Chain A
Amino acid sequence: MTAVRRKSNTPPVSASPFPYNPGSLLSVNDLSLDELNHILERATALEKQDPLTRDRILIKRRVALLFYEASTRTRTSFELAAKALGADTALVSNLSSSIEKGESLKDTGLNLRALGAEAIILRHSLSGGAWLLEESTRLPVLNAGDGMHEHPTQALLDLRTILAHLVPNSGKSVGKKVGPIAGPETLAGVTVTITGDILHSRVARSNMLLLPRLGAQVLLCGPKELLPEIAVAETPGVRIERDFEAALSRSRVAMMLRIQAERLAGLQLDLDEYKAGYQLTGERLARLAPKAVVMHPGPIIRGLEITGGVADGPQSAILEQVTHGLAIRMAVIERALGAGRTEKRV
């Protein structure tokens, strides 16, 4: 090896052109703290609003749901959210004919646009699908999960769940001033541990990007096969703690992930060993984190990463997450179609 490295200029990486459409939500990184607060505020306002006036907000607006992966919770959540605002929805899934016949994502997107879709909600099995669709159609695209990459609305609903438990007064009036719901210090001192199949998890990636921006410390926990060291190479505020019990004892939030058998790609994993090391049991929870909020993006595999008792127990916020999801998705759909802007806080 030559000892001295030459100092030569090298070509810079150009700035990302994404998102092309200001209504898009491709990555949690697309949101400034102001926009994040706006979404959280609107989520609360829409949740409280009378359903009979709420469904005028997007009346007769057209929202397409394009789902290349089976998904019950996310699809239903988006669909109910759009309908709650009065929008017309059209569902296109990978079981429908044109996709099955090999039509490209670009062409499917262009056809939906030609049919009058004003925004597309995309769930895709490959990382980056939402970026391709947005570039091709220039429509507002809401990323409902792309491969192993991101799932921004999940991170937003997770944040809303965490705030509801740990910072219940955020955004409420303090004296005369209404403070922001989420600022850089809002989660200062809060440790969130994400445990399990980090490598294949878009939920983990979005949360790793979002939560540290609000001051949270994120710990990632899991065996090397599911959590390579490079996971934290470029993420400030995120560290690896392989000892699940050590991580748990420091956590205010324990977020558990399922093992994505469909993405393991030949990886061999001893499930008994995994359970011994990383399963969230009632005993562990009582001993190490009796006050922690237990979260899981679903679907849960009872008896694998989490016991049924913990999932159903008093510390579990798993079903609250689902409810928060509906509110968050109403807010991002409203944002995608440019409605609700007049109510933006000055």
Chain B
Amino acid sequence: MSPTSAIAIKGGHLIDPGTGIDAPKDILLKDGRVAEVAAPGKLKQAAGAQILDAKGLVVAPGLIDIHVHLREPGQGYKETIATGTAAAAAGGFTAVAAMPNTIPVNDSPEITRWMQSPERGASVRVFPIGAATRGSKGETLNDFAALKAAGCVAVTDDGHPILKDSVMRDTLAAASRVGLSVIQHAEDTRMTVGASMNVGPVAFRLGLRGMPVEAESGLVERDIRLVQDLRSDKVHLHVAHTSTSKAIEAVRQARRNGLRVTCEVAPHHFLLTDEHVGHYDTHCKMNPPLRSAADRDAMLEAIMDGVVDAIATDHAPHASHEKEVEFERAPNGITGLETALGLCLAWLHREAKMPLGRVLSLLSAQPAAVLGLRGRGTLAVGSFADVIVFDPNVEWVYRAAEGKSKSRNTPFDGWTMLGKVRWTVSEGRVVYGN
């Protein structure tokens, strides 16, 4: 379908956290943009448009995942930009921000452009995130202005935390000068040598070395001190995949002090604990690791309280042969794009009673705001025509083998999800229909 053809989504209940609309509305998409939002049956320019019947369904801004690993270039056997974005579309995401830990590392405008090229066959918008330092080695800063000009929306050395104070300070300052956010994977790797799960009784019982919570919170606290020292409201630190109560408290305090510090939490960190590792289930191995029940509860609480700015999946596909090994040898990470909405609706909305609009905001308007993605995460007229239509009441069982991702490394295989995506529209094109 060509992006110029118009689509009218009629009869649905529109929830747009960006504009505060929560009412029955029809919406018209034209030329890749939202052209009109009107009371049911009142669209004026819908003549000739393809009609999507959304009766009984929710119409909302397309979801935005600001932390995914698409594995291209270099590791197409795990995932490609085409398969990863197909998984995104199936999960209701219309934009994803791709981490730079590819092979080679995305530390250049060339790779950034290559990732966005039409030949990649992306179903939804891919926003590359550039490496903060050359090769993500934590030493020499990249040219942030050039990365931004090529399309990067933030910089990070995700997976390779920037430990040196001076390098992190320079990164924050240089990124702020060109208006980019700095995303930190907060882990003091000097405290996690040889560790493969959270420190605590479970790790002791399993005979595995544990990562202390201070390895995360200590680096968050250090980064916040650096932001404070720079004394500029243009400096923006975003804490990736926050997993500990201590780190959340540091972010909460930094915000009270007026600093621009944001954070995201992944579904597995507000749902699962280190007990879920069971007998060395490598689908429960990720970094940061699943934490104690107290930390898991704190993540849920922080989401409810509003300290958490976004839910991001840290979608990290790995081939099955890579996960079918000894726990300590298995790579970190799980897939997440196809389960995020179903888990958030089941556990945040239904169980924790979070209003639907807030859940959707954490998955769209707020992540868009974190990375400054203009015209995304809202259905205001003139915005990008990124829309999902879903049934909020349908329960279904997720089967990883039937997913769109190339990989199946998920602890949520066989879980009951709430809310089924009917259509995903990315920039005016229906990229997923069910």
Which A residues contact B (CB, under 8 angstroms)?
1-2, 5-6, 8-11, 13-14, 16, 18, 104-106, 124, 126-129, 131-132, 136, 146-150, 199, 202, 205, 228, 230-231, 233-234, 265-266
Contacts and interface: CB of A to CB of B under 8 A. Distances in A.
Nearest to A233: B201
5 contacts: A2-B301, A8-B347, A132-B326, A205-B207, A230-B201
Nearest to A202: B207
Contacts of B207: 127-128, 146-150, 202, 205
A6 B305 CA distance: 10
B209 A129 contact: no
B117 to A, nearest CB: 36
Nearest to B208: A127
B204 A230 contact: yes
Pairs of residues from A and B, 3 with the lowest C-beta to C-beta distance, nearest first: A149-B207, A128-B280, A148-B207
A341 to B, nearest CB: 26
Nearest to B324: A106
Interface string B260-285: 00000000000111011011100000
Contacts of A149: 206-208
Contacts of A199: 204
Given A8-B300, A129-B326, A265-B193, A234 B279 contact: no
Given A13-B275, A149-B207, A230-B201, A6 B327 contact: no
Given A11-B271, A132-B325, 14 more contacts: A2-B305, A6-B301, A11-B272, A13-B276, A13-B278, A104-B321, A126-B326, A128-B279, A132-B324, A147-B207, A147-B328, A148-B207, A148-B208, A205-B207
Contacts of B325: 104-106, 132
B300 A6 contact: yes
B193 A8 contact: no
Given A8-B352, A265-B194, A265-B209, A126 B329 contact: yes
Contacts of B324: 104, 106, 132, 136
Contact of A18 (B275, B279, B321, B351): B279
B301 A105 contact: no
B249 interface: yes
B363 to A, nearest CB: 18
Contacts of B347: 8-11
Interface residues of B, number: 38
A16 B281 CA distance: 10
A1 B249 contact: yes
B304 interface: yes
B200 interface: yes
Contacts of B280: 127-128, 131-132
Contacts, number: 101
Contact of A16 (B205, B272, B279, B415): B279
B180 to A, nearest CB: 33
A231 B207 CA distance: 10
A202 B249 CA distance: 37
Interface in B342-378: 347, 351-352
B214 interface: no
Nearest to B304: A6
Contact of A9 (B204, B328, B351): B351
A40 B280 CA distance: 29
Interface in B278-305: 278-280, 293, 296-297, 300-301, 304-305
A105 B326 contact: yes
A5 B297 contact: yes
A11 B270 CA distance: 10
Contacts of B271: 10-11
Contacts of A231: 204
Contacts of B304: 6
Contacts of B293: 10
B215 to A, nearest CB: 15
Contacts of A9: 347, 351
A127 B328 contact: yes
Contact of B351 (A8, A129, A132, A147): A8
Choose among A8, A104, A147 the residue with the greatest number of B CB atoms under 10 Å from its CB: A8
A111 B324 CA distance: 16
Contacts of A14: 278
Contacts of A5: 297, 301
Nearest to B326: A126
Contacts of A146: 207
Contacts of B328: 126-128, 147
Contacts of A131: 279-280
A105 B282 CA distance: 15
A8 B271 CA distance: 11
Interface string B97-132: 000000000000000000000000000000000000
A18 B278 CA distance: 10
Nearest to B278: A16
A265 B201 CA distance: 20
B156 to A, nearest CB: 29
B200 A230 contact: yes
B211 to A, nearest CB: 13
A266 B193 contact: yes
B352 A6 contact: yes
Contacts of A105: 325-326
A147 B248 CA distance: 34
A205 B207 CA distance: 8
A200 to B, nearest CB: 8
A264 B351 CA distance: 44
B326 A124 contact: yes
Given A10-B271, A106-B325, A265-B194, A128 B204 contact: no
Interface string B161-181: 000000000000000000000
A229 B50 CA distance: 65
A126 B327 contact: yes
A232 to B, nearest CB: 9
Contacts of A18: 279
Contacts of A147: 207-208, 328
Contacts of A230: 199-201, 204
A107 to B, nearest CB: 9
A10 B350 CA distance: 12
Contacts of A2: 301, 305
B205 A205 contact: yes
Nearest to B411: A11
A128 B325 CA distance: 10
Contacts of B200: 230, 233
Nearest to B202: A234
A132 B206 CA distance: 13
A70 B137 CA distance: 37
B74 to A, nearest CB: 21
Nearest to A149: B207
Interface in B318-348: 321, 324-329, 347
